[in-house]
Structures are given as structure tokens and as C-alpha cells.
Chain A
Amino acid sequence: MKSKTVEIMDEEGIKRALIRIAHEILEKNKGAERLALLGLQTRGVPIAERLAAIIKEIEGADVPVGALDVTLYRDDLSHMRHHPQVRATTVPFNVENARIVITDEVIYTGRTIRAAMDAIMDLGRPQVIQLAALIDRGHRELPIRADYVGKNIPTSRLEWVHVRLREVDGIEGVTLGRSLDRAADDE
């Protein structure tokens, strides 16, 4: 399959976006009290860790970081023949009354975030749940929006957004890809 990709964010761009998001999180929550970051497996986890490190620099506060795998809460499990392997969920803070910021690399249909909210509610009753996404590519299928966005990228459904983070992929950057196959373009 022929395809074309363009870089839309480099290492510096990701860094600047996360610094801005960290400031916005602190502003909106009036500090770091009861704040907790919950990264969605896999790339949301290093994003949460990086935001926690930046918040530590700005505010001097240690914000707890957890990892959440939403696979068991997906709305399409019963349509699958092979269930995907579930990765670890570790929530090293009390969810009750916490101010939780979910972090993920891309928000698209909103279905993953719906699953994440259900998963969190099973662990307790947080005071608020907010969402930070490095990229918002549109095409929501549920009434969900991000509170903090690194970059809005209008996309077609035929395109794909690849976020690569050093901790997971060994390289850093965001690219937008598009199939050059005519069949795909005709759709």
C-alpha cells in the first residue's frame, strides 16, 4: 500500500506542548492538591510521567502517576474473535475524591475515554475527571471533549496519526499519514 506521511510535531514541539498543558492543569485545578495523573496504556503513561515531572519543577509538588489499561472496558470486545492481551493497571493513589487527569496521546472517537471513565468509576468516586491529549484529531462519536490539548489536527478518517515517544518507541515525533491508494481515496 502506498502512503504519504508528514511530520507535524517534533521533539521540541512535544516538549513545549506538555509544558503548556502542565501550566494549564495547575491553573484550572488551582494548584496540585489532590491532583493525580492517570496515563492510558501505552503512550499515555510516559505523557503522565513527563507532566508530573514538569509540575514538580513548576510547583515543587509530587503528583502521583498511575497507568490504566481500558481493554476490559472496551465496547467492541464481544465483536472480537481474539481478545487483545490486557496490560497492567496500577493506580497508586486513592481514587476517592481525587482530581484525576487522564492522559493519552491522541483523542479520536472518544470511545477509549468512555471506557477509561467507566474503569475509574469502578475504583472509586473521584471529585473530577479531566482529559489531557497530546493530539486532538476530531471525529468524535461520543459527547466527550479534552480539557487540555497539545495540538488540534483536523484529519480525514482515511488518515492516521502516529505519536512516537522515546520511552516506548525509542524515537520522538508526531506524523500524519495518508494512504495514496485510489480505493481508499474513493471511500
Chain B
Amino acid sequence: MDRNLIRIRSLDREDITKILEQSKVFLEILDRPIKKVPALRGKVVVTLFFEPSTRTRMSFELAAKMLSADVLNFAASTSSAVKGESLKDTALTMKALGADYIVVRHTHTGAPEFIAKQGDFRVINGGDGFGEHPTQALLDLFTIRQKLGRLEGLNVAIMGDIAHSRVARSNIFALNKMGANVRLVAPPTMLPVNIEKLGAEVHYRPDAILEDTDVLYLLRVQTERQKDSLLPSLKEYAELFGVNGDLLSKFKKDVMVMHPGPINRGVEISHDVADGNDTYIEEQVRNGLVVRMAVLYLLEGGKEAAHEAVS
């Protein structure tokens, strides 16, 4: 493992497998009466969030606490960032406080790499601009493997606003590396040009992928982007791409329905499907804890590494 986890793109199959295997072992801790192990005692984990987030931040903070680290939360909206402090100075402040890990979410792609250059802390990308969201992809892979026992050869369809989704990007890289077949389903306005070059089939309607899709991964329709005119209306999207009981029944039996959250009920997923037996949204949230524990535990660090260049 590297010192930082910023891009799935820079991991190989072996790294991903190692994280998934370690995550599996940590599941046992979630069933304990006292959910805490002393592995990261004395370490400081800062969650540096310049964009709103509930589940990712809470998941990282709880994972760090379960490993006995001390957790500091920096939310841009209530911090000196609103007073105009630069990202560099914020990072230098974290360094002076003695942060060992920085989990960063930022609107700008590349912010995690920039922060990694400011100190000898370990940096984990919690989502950067239109870049990546590596721990989301890892917990998705873990959830698929937990249910289906493998990733190799599976057909995984990602449906929704691919163009604006760092979750989709990280998942495309991760699934490809693990030997799954990725299919992207979206209206053309939600697909970036040349996306198939990343190694994915492209479809403009779900009809073509009904029979042999093993996992149907839905993305949130970012209603705040409605002003960008990606869609004639949310109602039309719900009719063509929204997954309801009727559409789901045309898929192969036992297709796994996944969603990174937060979900828009009645848009990309109907109430009955969201609450039904084919969805794994709660498992994804729970698995997010063990995957993030595994990442915090496995990232290499320590004094000897301090002189090394950060990547």
C-alpha cells in the first residue's frame, strides 16, 4: 500500500484485494459489545470537508474512532475557510496540529494531491470535484463480493448522471481492474464524450441490459444541477430511467440494486424498490465502516517514511 489513497486509478488489483480482505476481517468488530480496538491509539485523524457530506464524513469519523484514533472535524462552512484562508494554509495548520491522517473532500479535482504535498500526513480522498471517490468504490466492490462471492466476469450496470459522478469514475476504474464488465446507462447529456475509452459499454436506455445484469448501480440525480438543462424534467427521467417494481421485474431475478446515497425517492428509485429486498443500500453504509477502517489501518506511514516524496 501507498502512503495515500487518492485515486483508484493508481491502485493495482493486488492493492484492492488486500483492502477488501482486510475489510472482511474487521466485520467482526461491528458485532462486538464494545466496538473499539486500540490499533490507532494516539493518532490524529482530521476530516477536512469543503463540501457538504453526511455519510462519508460520519463513516470516516466512526471508523477512525473504532480504531481508537482521535478525530478532529473541519467543516468549511463553520471554519476559517469562510474568512478566506487558503487550502495551503489550512493544510499547514493541520500539520502544526500534528495530524497523522487527513480525509479531504473538496470541490476542486486534485485538492487531495495538493494537500499531500504540504506535510507528512497520510491523505485519503473523500471525494474531489469531478475526480474520484475511492473509498465509495471500494465499499461497493466489497458489498458486491460479499453477496456474489466474486467480481470477475460480473456484469455491472451504472445508471444515472455519469458525467458529474466521481463515484461512477472510481467504480469504473475499480470494476475494470477486478475483471468485471461495466455498462453505463444514461441519456447522452449525462455521458461524457469518449467515456467508452475508460473500458465500458454505453447504452442510452435500460432495455438493452435487462437480461444479464448482475448488479444495477443507480446514481443520484443531482437535482441541484437541473439548471444545467441536462434533462427536460425530473418526471421524464423517472419515467425512462427510474427503477420501479415494474422495471425491476424485467431484470434478471436477484439483480443487486445499489446506490451510494442519498437517494431521491420517486426519481432514480421508487419507494417500493428502495424498501425492497433487492436493494443493498444499508449494507453499503455498514460496509463503508469496515472498508474505511481497513484503509486507515493499511496506509503506510511512520517515521521512516517521512522523507519520502508524496504522490
Contacts and interface: CB of A to CB of B under 8 A. Distances in A.
Are A and B subunits of one complex? yes
B301 interface: yes
A123 B33 contact: yes
Interface stretch (B20-28, B57-65, B91-99, B138-146): B20-28
A81 B301 contact: yes
B158 to A, nearest CB: 31
Q: At the interface, is chain B mostly helix, strand, loop or mixed?
A: loop
A82 interface: yes
B302 A122 contact: no
Most buried by A among B22, B26, B38: B38
B32 interface: yes
Nearest to A75: B38
B25 A77 contact: no
Contacts of A73: 37-39
Interface residues of B, number: 25
A123 B35 CA distance: 9
Nearest to A115: B38
Contact of A81 (B18, B21, B25, B304): B304
B232 interface: no
Interface string A95-127: 000000000000000000000001000111000
B300 interface: yes
Given A77-B39, A83-B39, A124 B305 contact: no
Interface in B11-55: 18, 21-22, 25-26, 28, 32-34, 36-39, 41-43
A89 B36 CA distance: 14
B42 A78 contact: yes
A78 B41 CA distance: 8
A72 B300 contact: no
Contacts of B39: 71-73, 77, 83
Contact of B298 (A83, A90, A118): A83
A80 B25 contact: no
A118 B38 contact: yes
Contacts of B74: none
A86 interface: yes
Contacts of A81: 300-302, 304-305
Nearest to B3: A81
Interface in A121-170: 122-124
A122 B304 contact: no
Contacts of B34: 122
B42 A72 contact: no
A14 B302 CA distance: 41
A107 B91 CA distance: 46
B305 A86 contact: no
A180 interface: no
A91 to B, nearest CB: 8
A85 B300 contact: no
A78 B38 CA distance: 11
Contacts of B1: 82
B38 A72 contact: yes
B28 A80 contact: no
10 A-B pairs with least C-beta separation: A81-B302, A72-B37, A72-B39, A86-B25, A81-B304, A89-B28, A82-B300, A81-B300, A81-B305, A88-B25
Interface of B: 1, 18, 21-22, 25-26, 28, 32-34, 36-39, 41-43, 67, 297-298, 300-302, 304-305
Given A72-B297, A77-B39, 15 more contacts: A69-B25, A72-B38, A72-B67, A73-B37, A73-B39, A81-B300, A81-B304, A81-B305, A85-B21, A86-B22, A86-B25, A88-B28, A89-B25, A89-B28, A122-B32
24 contacts: A72-B37, A72-B39, A72-B67, A73-B37, A73-B38, A77-B39, A78-B41, A78-B42, A78-B302, A80-B302, A81-B302, A81-B304, A81-B305, A82-B1, A85-B21, A85-B22, A86-B25, A86-B26, A88-B25, A89-B25, A90-B28, A122-B34, A122-B37, A123-B33
